[in-house]
Amino acid sequence: MSKFPELFPGVRIGPQPDDGDLDELKRAGIKTVVDFRQPKETESSNEQLVQKHGLDYIGIPVDREDPSPKAVEAFQEAMRGASEPLLLHCGSGIRAITVYLLSKAKAKDWTPERVEQEITSRGFELSSHPPLRRLIKDYLA
């Protein structure tokens, strides 16, 4: 499952899963898939594919060029009723981990620098994602 590592207890983060990945994730105990991609990134949502595998699907579109703090709020709201363990994904996983950590950051009193450090320490690179860096700063301002 190195493509979808468990970066936090009960939370795997990674890229867009395919049919075989979803089989493997289901066997690994995943119950809910949270998709942070926008519809324009793919010809269709993977909602039907996820549900075909007996998994719950939650779609929270995050624009790569203009991510909104509303996505963090939508994620927090969705997690109130979500079954765990979770797979959080986007195209690469960078939006997924950013939204996940921002959903925890205010309660932990983290600075933007701390959030960025948490992201990079888990193998994701923010330097090529200025819009996400801006989201982190704006959300925690």
Provide CB contacts within 8 A for 24, sequence distance 6+. 1
In order along its 141 residues, the chain shows pLDDT tens digits of 589 999 999 999 999 999 999 999 999 999 999 999 998 887 666 899 999 999 999 999 999 999 999 999 999 999 999 999 999 999 999 999 999 999 999 999 999 999 999 999 999 999 999 999 999 999 999
* Residues 29-56 pLDDT 10s: 999 999 999 988 876 668 999 999 999 9
Tally of domains within the chain: 1
Mean of all residue pLDDT scores within the chain: 95
**AA identity, residue 9:** P
Query: Measured between alpha carbons, how far is 136 from 98 in angstroms, rounded to an integer?
Result: 8
Residue 21 lies in a domain: yes
Query: Measured between alpha carbons, how far is 28 from 16 in angstroms, rounded to an integer?
Result: 17
Residue 49 lies in a domain: yes
Residue 87 lies in a domain: yes
User: What confidence score (pLDDT) does residue 1 get?
Assistant: 59
User: What confidence score (pLDDT) does residue 2 get?
Assistant: 81
Tell me whether strands 56-59 and 6-8 are parallel, antiparallel or unpaired: unpaired
Residue 28 lies in a domain: yes
Query: Measured between alpha carbons, how far is 111 from 68 in angstroms, rounded to an integer?
Result: 18
8 Å CB contact between 96 and 90 = yes
Query: Residue 130: which CATH number?
Result: 3.90.190.10
**pTM for this predicted structure:** 0.95
